[in-house]
Structure 1
Amino acid sequence: MKILMIHDYFPNEAHGIYTHTHHLSKELIKRYEVEQLNVITPVTCVFDGRKSKNSDLPLSNYFYLPQQIKKKIDEIKPDIVHIHGTHPPYSLLPMIIKKEYKTIITLHGIVAIDSKNSIKNRLLLKNYWYGFLEKSAIKKADKLIAVSPAIKNIVEKKGATPSKISVIPNGIDIHEHENGRIIENLNHPSLFFIGRLVKQKGVDVLIKSLVIIKEFIQDVHLYIAGIGPQLKKLNILVKRLNLENNVTFLGHIQGEQKISYYKSIDICVIPSSFESFSFVTLEAMASGKPVVASNVGGIPYLVEEGETGFLFEPGNYHELAKKVIQLLENKELRERMGKLAEEKAELFSWESVTDETIKLYEKTLRG
């Protein structure tokens, strides 16, 4: 089976879609011939000594990209064209490809939701056009993969045929999270956030909750890992709330350092206003840590209230503080939730995700 992956994400483990396509390709190439079409980065991927054949296209030709991609597809003649995302120009591909090739789209997010993340984006006419193209792509594709039940429900409301949609989640490399080094000086009650510092991630909500948490647990400390346009505003907020001694901005961390923080902290907090799935939640669970997260999108698919963590209404920093205090004051509860979280994370191995994806490929080819 020859599989063509189409995505446009620069190699960066901090980006969820790149992580998904990288690990899925890594597993698939052990069993099939994988063509990975990367339209931004001229990077050839090597998996276990075997090279995937990248068919890179320069971003400078963005306007003509759909036609260029179609030309590449005709050269490669894949059995499956697997497209990751529905933003233009990829939303045009199912219409250009038509019925010549079997087409599957993985929906990592929805344009309509992404556009709501800022007032500026909501006012842009192009987002209505993007939404129209996305709806057309969803209709034309042979099969759709939703990374969570929440995305499946949204896509069905956009008119997709339910039988076309399969829920196949993101995965995790369980072994990477088994032996993280414990950071010795993290011997105080600690919270951890990791992600892009953008409004959607709700870091300001987490910082505001810290004022309440500090009233009950004075030496609590929040570690914020990530970079982004909100960094300056968040620093100002920390100073305004007199939390300089309780908050540390770590900048961008990855690899062993990231896993060490997961292993060393007490609680991971996900205060986002929306998440299609949430890699961070899964990473924290794989590290044996309880999660306190917003009750939105794909997060409840991972976090079971009172079992593997706690959920709170997005934006409600009073409720967030209450849940965090409950966990910080009860070590036995933290450890029990962490153990259950780790057990649940094992269900999301990349091997399992790849098995489900292959079943869908085979079903699609059978028609």
Structure 2
Amino acid sequence: MTKKILYVRSGPYKVNLSGYNLQELGLGKAFCNLGYDVDILYYSDKNDVQLIKTQKNTLRILWSKGIKLFRSGIYPTILKRKFLDQYDYVFISEYSQLMAVLLNRLHDNVYVYNGPYYNLFKLKFIEPLYDKLFVKFLNKSSKKIFCKTAMAESYLKNKGFTNTKTVGTGIDLDSYKNTHSIDEITRKLLNKMRGNKNILYVGSIIPRKNVELIIKSFVNYREKNSDSKSNLIIIGKGSKKYTTHCKSLIPKELESSVLWVEYLNNSQLKYVYDEADIFMLPSKQEIFGMVLLEAMYFGKPVIASLSAGSDILIEDGNNGYIINDENVDNWSKKIEELLENDNLRESIGEKAHNTIIEKFTWDKIVLKMEKEFRE
């Protein structure tokens, strides 16, 4: 009989299936490839079931009405033993969500998949209370707490968790193998990129992502290399106040060299990665940084801060670069080093691609998880 997995993304926020490379779908497809049937629960304003096409076995999305409580999502419709008993294994995202506690009380094989290494979801005064009430229970009751990064595992160990294992996060290669027509917004962007050296950033325009450091570094590089044919491409959106601040850092003479795109469908990003030369991610905090996986898969040298994701993906100077400060000159010099040396870019990019293929596809990640099932 085919074994079944339920994955509950407990956050009470509706996701856009076409807007980004959702981790749960990649993980679900990989488990299907191993012979499991998988259901993924996402928050919604109505209950519905959606079948996702896979090469083998069944992958479904259970759109479920949820209750928002202190930034946690609770899903009453699945909190029944009769419903949960159809699953051999239950996954829950994040130890800090109340569903982790509730599911562990109702099912014997619950696995937590934890990303943050800082208080992302809870109000500050709730976190210590939640930890005091539930950490011992979750550590004892959960079959295993899988961690996306070494930073996440260290964070949980400091809280008292011992039943942890760092497995990483994977990339869904199917998203990039399918051919999609290039839409008009993407076409216009690609026309501006072609014939130039291109620095790329993809992500939210928020202070935590440190977008202003990207802009300052690009401006510094261009001021020292005035004849450079180079663009900075920023794909993402954020608050009007922070976006306006970031744009104010660009001198008038460089405004045409900074290309802003608020949104691209995930299917369009591969065309942009193809035209990019380097990728930057100087985040102050990350859960993982899926864009690092994407950029490295497409063979792009990455310049990143030391944060979750880069800590297990990048070997500094080998398959990418980690700069553990916010010194604009240091970031600018690394941009110059890469843009002015085609052979170096190619070598670093090739090693980056190989790292992802060899260690960080979802097929590789779920093998680590399935090993814990057997043990």
TM-score over 0.5 (shorter chain): yes
Shift of 1:102: 1.1
User: Are the equivalent residues in 1 in contact too, given 2:284–2:307 (CA < 8 A)?
Assistant: yes
Pick aligned residue for 2:307 from 296, 305, 311 = 296
2: CA distance, partners of 1:193 / 1:137: 41
Pick aligned residue for 2:216 from 208, 214, 219 = 208
Pick aligned residue for 1:33 from 37, 60, 82 = 37
Q: How does 1:148-227 map to 2 (within 5 A)?
A: 148-161=149-162, 164-174=163-173, 176-177=175-176, 183-186=190-193, 187-218=195-226, 219-227=229-237
Aligned in 2, Cα 1:13/1:144: closer, same or farther, shift over 3 Å? farther
Moved more, 327-336 or 29-38: 29-38
Aligned in 2, Cα 1:256/1:38: closer, same or farther, shift over 3 Å? closer
Q: How does 1:43-54 map to 2 (within 5 A)?
A: 43-48=49-54, 51-54=58-61
2: CA distance, partners of 1:131 / 1:110: 14
User: Are the equivalent residues in 2 in contact too, given 1:26–1:47 (CA < 8 A)?
Assistant: no
2: CA distance, partners of 1:137 / 1:11: 33
Q: How does 1:58-77 map to 2 (within 5 A)?
A: 58-60=65-67, 66=74, 68=76, 71-77=79-85
Pick aligned residue for 1:107 from 114, 118, 134 = 114
Shift of 1:273: 0.6
**Counterpart check, 1:23 vs 2:26:** yes
Moved more, 275-284 or 44-53: 44-53
2: CA distance, partners of 1:68 / 1:200: 34
Aligned in 2, Cα 1:329/1:73: closer, same or farther, shift over 3 Å? farther
Pick aligned residue for 1:331 from 334, 342, 346 = 342
Aligned in 2, Cα 1:361/1:285: closer, same or farther, shift over 3 Å? same
Size of the alignment, in residue pairs?
349
Aligned in 2, Cα 1:69/1:155: closer, same or farther, shift over 3 Å? farther
Structure 2 equivalent of residue 57 of structure 1: 64
What TM-score, normalized to structure 1?
Answer: 0.84
Aligned in 2, Cα 1:337/1:240: closer, same or farther, shift over 3 Å? closer
Moved more, 206-215 or 70-79: 70-79
Shift of 1:190: 1.4
If each structure's helix is expressed as a fraction of its own residues, which one has the higher value? 1
Structure 2 equivalent of residue 96 of structure 1: 105
1: CA distance, partners of 2:353 / 2:26: 20
Structure 2 equivalent of residue 254 of structure 1: 265
1: CA distance, partners of 2:286 / 2:316: 17
Counterpart AA for 1:40: S
Moved more, 58-67 or 147-156: 58-67
1: CA distance, partners of 2:6 / 2:223: 55
Shift of 1:354: 2.3
RMSD: 3.0
Aligned in 2, Cα 1:12/1:328: closer, same or farther, shift over 3 Å? same
Shift of 1:72: 3.6
Q: Identical aligned pairs, as a percentage? A: 23
Pick aligned residue for 1:268 from 260, 266, 279 = 279
Structure 2 equivalent of residue 237 of structure 1: 246
Structure 2 equivalent of residue 118 of structure 1: none
1: CA distance, partners of 2:281 / 2:62: 36
Instruction: Write out per-residue CA displacement over residues 251-279 of structure 1, whole angstroms, 9 at most, x where no aligned residue.
Output: 11133421111110110001101223221
Structure 1 equivalent of residue 126 of structure 2: 126
Moved more, 101-110 or 232-241: 232-241
Structure 2 equivalent of residue 146 of structure 1: 147
Pick aligned residue for 1:350 from 349, 362, 373 = 362
Aligned in 2, Cα 1:157/1:71: closer, same or farther, shift over 3 Å? closer
User: Are the equivalent residues in 1 in contact too, given 2:338–2:345 (CA < 8 A)?
Assistant: yes
User: Are the equivalent residues in 2 in contact too, given 1:87–1:134 (CA < 8 A)?
Assistant: no
Counterpart AA for 2:353: E
Aligned in 2, Cα 1:109/1:303: closer, same or farther, shift over 3 Å? same
Instruction: Write out per-residue CA displacement over residues 54-79 of structure 1, whole angstroms, 9 at most, x where no aligned residue.
Output: 55431247699757256344323022
Moved more, 322-331 or 84-93: 84-93
Aligned in 2, Cα 1:12/1:217: closer, same or farther, shift over 3 Å? farther
Aligned in 2, Cα 1:342/1:54: closer, same or farther, shift over 3 Å? closer
1: CA distance, partners of 2:133 / 2:206: 26
